[in-house]
């Protein structure tokens, strides 16, 4: 039995959780998320907490699925009550980012600027031209968009130029040396 799956999820003030046939709907001040889970686990809301437990006759799949379901529901509750944030930074001479409407434009050394559509529910802020802050309430959508932005120009190991997560450690390689 999963150690994480055993933990109860506390529901913060101002957030509601409803479970109907393993369809979990979370509503909070930041937004609303719903997700359908398989019937291999039992999801209950009682005493302002969400409990995820195994059925009477658990299968091997339900035992492995138990902790995953609890983590996904916890991410839904945290996202709808507090929200999530991912910060990226751009390193390189002349590299910068701009936003216009629902588009993020990256000027990162290619012959043409890279224009990316910002998904609904996400907010992209640019404190400086080389810093990107992505906020929202759905952790999966934020992570996928941030990975897509980073994937446009990942940091290279020789000069360290490219887009990286804030605080990411990029292993640098030594270049060629003349003998």
The tens digit of pLDDT for each residue in 80-105 reads 999 999 999 999 999 999 999 999 99
Superfamily of domain 3-81: Ribosomal protein L6 (3.90.930.12)
Poorest-confidence range of 57-71, 80-94, 103-117? 57-71
Tell me the pLDDT tens digit for each residue of 18-45.
Answer: 999 999 999 999 999 999 999 889 999 9
* Residue 92: other Cβ atoms inside 10 A: 17
**Vertex 44, ends 43 and 45: CA angle to 5°?**
135
DSSP 3-state assignment of 80?
Answer: helix
The pLDDT of residue 162 is above 70: yes
* Structure tokens given for 32: 């609303």
How many other C-beta atoms can be found within 10 angstroms of the C-beta atom of residue 90? Answer: 23
Q: What pTM was estimated for this model as a whole?
A: 0.90
Of all residues in the chain, what percent carry a pLDDT higher than 70? 99
| 84-165 CATH, one of 3.40.50.10490, 3.40.50.300, 3.10.20.90, 3.90.930.12 | 3.90.930.12
């Amino acid at each position: 039995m999963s150690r994480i799956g055993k933990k109860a999820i506390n529901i913060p003030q101002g957030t509601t959780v409803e479970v109907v046939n393993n369809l979990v709907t979370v509503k909070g001040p930041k937004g609303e998320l719903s997700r359908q889970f398989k019937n291999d686990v039992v999801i209950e809301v009682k005493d302002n907490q969400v409990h995820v437990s195994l059925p009477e006759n658990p299968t091997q799949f339900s035992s492995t699925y138990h902790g995953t379901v609890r983590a996904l529901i916890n991410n839904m509750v945290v996202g709808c009550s507090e929200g999530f944030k991912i910060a990226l930074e751009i390193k390189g001479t002349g590299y910068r980012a701009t936003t216009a409407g629902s588009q993020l434009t990256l000027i990162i050394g290619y012959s043409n600027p890279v224009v990316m559509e910002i998904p609904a529910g996400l907010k992209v802020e640019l404190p400086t031209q080389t810093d990107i802050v992505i906020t929202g309430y759905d952790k999966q959508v934020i992570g996928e968009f941030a990975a897509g932005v980073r994937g446009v120009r990942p940091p290279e190991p020789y000069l360290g130029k490219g887009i990286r997560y804030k605080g990411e450690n990029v292993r640098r390689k030594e270049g060629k040396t003349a003998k």
